[in-house]
């Protein structure tokens, strides 16, 4: 399932509308976001973001309402765990996957 998630704009840089980028806070996780679709966005605004692009601005009350709905659906668990530093890193997942898929050595006996 694809989700567009609200976040608070922390920084914006760039003067060209198509190359404006900045940092957005998603409940403690800071991500780089492209603001090409929302030239009106300002620092302090809330934006709805999907795959790294801010799609539209929303007010704080609406952003909090979306977070409440996502929390009820259980869709915020990973984000909240990451914000609290409990999420498994990609490196740890890769290592676990390598361990689970590694061939089992069979000793030749005789």
Question: What would be the CATH architecture of the domain defined by 5-101?
Answer: Roll (2.30)
* pTM score over 0.85: no
Instruction: Band the pLDDT of 46: cuts 50, 70, 90.
Output: very high
pLDDT digits (tens, 9 = 90+) for 90-104: 566 555 555 444 444
Domain residue ranges of the chain, discontinuous segments joined by + = 5-101
Q: Calculate the alpha carbon distances from 92 to 55, 87, 99, 100 in Å.
A: 32, 10, 11, 12
Question: Residue 23: is its pLDDT beyond 90?
Answer: yes
Q: Are 51 and 24 in contact (CB under 8 A)?
A: no
3-state helix, strand, coil in the chain (%, to 5): 35, 30, 40
């Amino acid at each position: 399932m694809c989700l567009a998630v609200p976040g608070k704009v922390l920084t914006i840089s760039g003067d060209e509308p198509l190359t404006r980028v900045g940092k957005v806070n998603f409940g403690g996780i800071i991500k780089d976001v492209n603001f090409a679709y929302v030239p009106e966005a300002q620092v302090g605004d809330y934006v709805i973001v999907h795959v790294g692009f801010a799609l539209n601005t929303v007010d704080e009350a609406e952003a909090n309402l979306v977070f409440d709905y996502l929390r009820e659906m259980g869709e915020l668990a990973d984000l909240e765990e990451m914000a609290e530093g409990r999420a498994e890193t990609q490196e740890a997942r890769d290592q676990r996957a390598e361990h689970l898929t590694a061939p089992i050595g069979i000793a030749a006996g005789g």
